[in-house]
């Protein structure tokens, strides 16, 4: 099934069930008013929501409304836990190569993961508000999953069963703030201001034959100002699957329902199908030409991120955002 | 006023108003069912809660119950944002000195801050469940504040007005997992499993003459197995006040209501009144003797953290926790 959250003048928005074609939706306050409420009680709510989804796909629900013009929020507008991996190690290797740094051998076996700000996820069509272009504005196209309650010490194999919802995200990064933060060793903070979500999240069964062993085997398309930047396949060169990322996150503590785990920038070896962020494009230019020629994003730039099924139909809806100057 | 959250079989617990003496409490579902609901609407709820607090202190409320035996949760059992500073730079300097590393000059002007896991804060009397003693279990006694909505780009001075609640916490750390995580530069993750909170949070007016310019001027007592480890004054040697920490956190994005900001381990120059974590005790031993002699915590160890007003009365109630072995 497919779920979304739409604006209703509250911080958490209104949970809605969306049909497979992403054309119609229906509110389900009798099942769960919000996405967090749904995932808090997933054992109960999942079946009830799935029944609504079936009826909605049949066109059998009189209260359904047009989803194409709905004011979507992030599917989970504020979450309690957001951990972003860097599972495509080939991307990390490339970034290191561009600055003549060795990739530690352990990076192939021990996932990189940082804790991100989950209190204000932004919607698929929200502006990316940044105060200063000089901070080096970049997008990062990723796959993300939402879990139910995960016990500490879960194995990677067990963790797969805790993945309840899947979507794509844009992990906005401020590249020129990263070197200072990395040097302080306390992780990203100011350099990771916003994370945007596709309009809908879907259950794994919706991705039959495409969601395999904790990886989503489809190209992820990133388009900047109507120019394709890349379509790497998210199922290829993902060194750590989502089960491994969750097990890493849950090594010393449990994860509460509604935890969001990200894949990191999707990338394929050799970047044969392009990139999922400008930083990677610039690294390729540095390796080839000695210096980067592609600038980071400017105010007014439009970034679109989408994933389509093999028949060309959008699965999660499109992330389509414009970078604007933040003014207090 | 003083507020707490008690167990009621829900994830977020029941918000209660607690009297100044910490002996009685009363539920306030007509004002706000949970701490998050209260802080979400603080402009409305603060005055209503304060009126209840006044009546409660007068002993005028028939529905009040005994707070001394109440099953407290963390005041905000799950929060959307938890950022921990390292504001006592003298502590960082000492830790560096113990490993013969220079303290970068910038550390005195640019706060260290990491994003922590906020989805499962634990209560003042909850066990600290850890799977393996070899991870190097330590406490860190800190001051923490809870904000309302903070706009991006807030100044340090403006930020002070966004501090609505104050308390003390135990930022549990797994010291032997830290070196690997620091070397990966993505920040703490597995090495910071749990954060425990004192039973109550208080509004700044409750700390008249003690809460000055974003610092709390009182000793913070840490006692391990009934032996005092330290009582450094939280108002002394705090290089960055809470206004500066919040401004740092809000440089590139807004912070949503209910954001928790921590001070980092409270420490005074020269550790004259002892320490707020075992790591600092061990660093002092290394500097003096060439090697540490104090071990990290073991299963069964009891850690107590408390702050008292000048007349000796506990302000936030006592954190009193036992380390236990986590078994799935």
Where are the domains positioned within chain A?
Answer: 2-66, 82-325
Binary contact (A40, B328; C-beta < 8 A): no
Count Cβ atoms within 10 A of the Cβ of residue B209 and give its class: 0-12 exposed, 13-18 middle, 19 or more buried.
exposed
- Evaluate whether A91 touches A267 at the Cβ level (below 8 Å): yes
pLDDT in tens, B24-49: 999 999 999 999 999 999 999 999 99
Binary contact (B113, A255; C-beta < 8 A): no
Residue of B nearest to A152 (CA): B328
- Please say if the pLDDT value at position B206 is more than 90: yes
Cβ neighbours of B186 in A, within 8 Å: 86, 112-114, 187-188
Alpha-carbon gap: B258 to the closest alpha carbon of chain A (Å): 9
Q: How far is CA A267 from the centre of its chain?
A: 14
Residue A67 CB partners (closer than 8 Å, separation 6+): A4, A16, A18, A19, A22, A23, A24, A25
User: B60: pLDDT confidence band, cut at 50, 70 and 90?
Assistant: confident
Instruction: Report d(CA A264, CA A267) in Å as an integer.
Output: 9
Cβ neighbours of A113 in B, within 8 Å: 186, 189
As a whole number of Å, the end-to-end CA separation of chain A is 39
Instruction: Report d(CA A7, CA A208) in Å as an integer.
Output: 30
Binary contact (B185, A180; C-beta < 8 A): no
The partner residue sitting opposite A252, judged by closest CB among B174, B186, B251, is B174
- pLDDT reported for residue A99: 87
pLDDT, mean of residues B133-152: 98
Count, residues in chain B = 328
- What is the C-alpha radius of gyration for chain A, rounded to an integer number of angstroms? 19
Fold (CATH) for B82-325: Fumarylacetoacetate hydrolase; domain 2 (3.90.850)
Mean pLDDT over the full length of chain A: 97
Q: Which of A199, A14, A180 lies closest to A125 in space, CA to CA?
A: A199
Binary contact (B190, A248; C-beta < 8 A): yes
Total CB pairs under 8 A between chain A and B: 138
For residue A33, the SS3 value is coil
Binary contact (B86, A185; C-beta < 8 A): no
Instruction: Report d(CA A82, CA A192) in Å as an integer.
Output: 12
Backbone angles phi, psi at B252, to 5 degrees: -115, 0
The partner residue sitting opposite A189, judged by closest CB among B79, B115, B189, is B115
Binary contact (A256, B180; C-beta < 8 A): no
Cβ neighbours of A252 in B, within 8 Å: 130-131, 135, 174, 177, 190-191, 193
Cβ neighbours of A116 in B, within 8 Å: 115
- pLDDT reported for residue B99: 87
Cβ neighbours of B251 in A, within 8 Å: 190
Residue of A nearest to B155 (CA): A328
Pairing of strands B260-262, B82-85: parallel
Q: From the CB of residue B8, how many other CB atoms can be counted at a distance below 10 Å?
A: 16
Count, residues in chain A = 328
* CA dihedral sign of residues B260, B117, A93, A130: negative
Binary contact (A177, B252; C-beta < 8 A): yes
pLDDT in tens, A133-190: 999 999 999 999 999 999 999 999 999 999 999 999 999 999 999 999 988 989 999 9
- Evaluate whether A252 touches B131 at the Cβ level (below 8 Å): yes
Backbone angles phi, psi at B158, to 5 degrees: -60, -35
- Please say if the pLDDT value at position B101 is more than 90: no
Strands in chain A per DSSP E:
2-6, 14-18, 24-27, 65-66, 82-85, 113-115, 128-130, 137-138, 141-147, 163-171, 173-174, 195-197, 201-202, 211-212, 215-216, 221-224, 227-230, 260-262, 302-306, 319-325
Cβ neighbours of A251 in B, within 8 Å: 190
Pairing of strands B201-202, A113-115: unpaired
Alpha-carbon gap: A184 to the closest alpha carbon of chain B (Å): 7
Backbone angles phi, psi at A110, to 5 degrees: -120, 110
Instruction: Report d(CA B165, CA B158) in Å as an integer.
Output: 16
- Evaluate whether B54 touches B64 at the Cβ level (below 8 Å): no
Mean pLDDT over the full length of chain B: 97
> Tokens 């986590």 identify what position?
B326
What whole-number percentage of chain A has pLDDT above 90?
Answer: 96
- pLDDT reported for residue B322: 98
Q: Take residue B152 and report the two structure tokens written for it.
A: 């991006």
- Evaluate whether B214 touches B243 at the Cβ level (below 8 Å): yes
- pLDDT reported for residue A233: 98
Instruction: Report d(CA B171, CA B46) in Å as an integer.
Output: 28
What whole-number percentage of chain B has pLDDT above 70?
Answer: 100
> Tokens 């060169």 identify what position?
A237
Q: Take residue A245 and report the two structure tokens written for it.
A: 């990322």
Lowest average pLDDT, out of A178-182, B200-204, B295-299, goes to A178-182
Binary contact (B190, A252; C-beta < 8 A): yes
Instruction: Report d(CA B279, CA B300) in Å as an integer.
Output: 19
Cβ neighbours of B107 in A, within 8 Å: 184
Q: Take residue B326 and report the two structure tokens written for it.
A: 């986590």
- pLDDT reported for residue B79: 98
Instruction: Report d(CA A88, CA B319) in Å as an integer.
Output: 42
Instruction: Report d(CA A157, CA A149) in Å as an integer.
Output: 15
Alpha-carbon gap: A125 to the closest alpha carbon of chain B (Å): 18
Residue of A nearest to B77 (CA): A80
User: B139: pLDDT confidence band, cut at 50, 70 and 90?
Assistant: very high
- Please say if the pLDDT value at position A192 is more than 90: yes
- pLDDT reported for residue B81: 98
Cβ neighbours of B117 in A, within 8 Å: 81, 115, 253
User: B283: pLDDT confidence band, cut at 50, 70 and 90?
Assistant: very high
């Amino acid at each position: 099934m497919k779920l979304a959250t739409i604006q209703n003048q509250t911080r958490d928005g209104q949970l809605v069930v969306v049909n497979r074609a992403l054309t119609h939706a229906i509110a389900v306050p009798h099942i769960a008013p919000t996405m967090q409420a749904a995932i808090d009680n997933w054992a109960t709510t999942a079946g009830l929501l799935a029944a609504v989804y079936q009826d909605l796909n049949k066109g059998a629900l009189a209260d359904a409304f047009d989803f194409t013009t709905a004011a979507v929020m992030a599917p989970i507008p504020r979450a309690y836990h957001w951990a972003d991996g860097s599972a495509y190690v080939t991307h990390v290797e490339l970034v290191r190569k561009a600055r003549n740094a060795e990739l530690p051998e352990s990076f192939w076996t021990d996932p990189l993961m940082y804790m991100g700000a989950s209190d204000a996820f932004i919607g698929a069509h929200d502006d990316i508000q940044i105060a200063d272009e000089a901070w080096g504005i970049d997008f990062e196209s990723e796959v993300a999953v939402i879990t139910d309650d995960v016990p500490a010490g879960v194995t990677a194999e067990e963790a797969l069963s805790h993945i309840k919802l899947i979507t794509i995200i844009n992990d906005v990064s401020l590249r020129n703030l990263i070197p200072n933060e990395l040097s302080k060793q306390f992780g990203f903070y100011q350099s990771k201001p916003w994370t945007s979500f596709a309009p809908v999240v879907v259950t794994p069964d919706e991705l039959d034959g495409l969601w395999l062993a904790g990886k989503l085997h489809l190209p992820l398309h990133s388009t900047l100002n109507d120019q394709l930047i890349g379509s790497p396949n998210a199922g290829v060169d993902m060194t750590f699957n989502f089960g491994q990322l969750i097990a890493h996150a849950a090594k010393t503590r449990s994860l509460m329902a509604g935890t969001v785990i990200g894949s990191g920038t999707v990338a394929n070896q050799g970047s044969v199908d392009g990139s999922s962020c400008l930083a990677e494009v610039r690294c390729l230019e540095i390796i080839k030409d000695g210096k980067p020629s592609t600038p980071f994003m400017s105010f007014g730039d439009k970034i679109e991120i989408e994933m389509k099924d093999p028949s060309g139909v959008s699965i999660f809806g499109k992330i389509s955002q414009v970078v604007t100057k933040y003014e207090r």
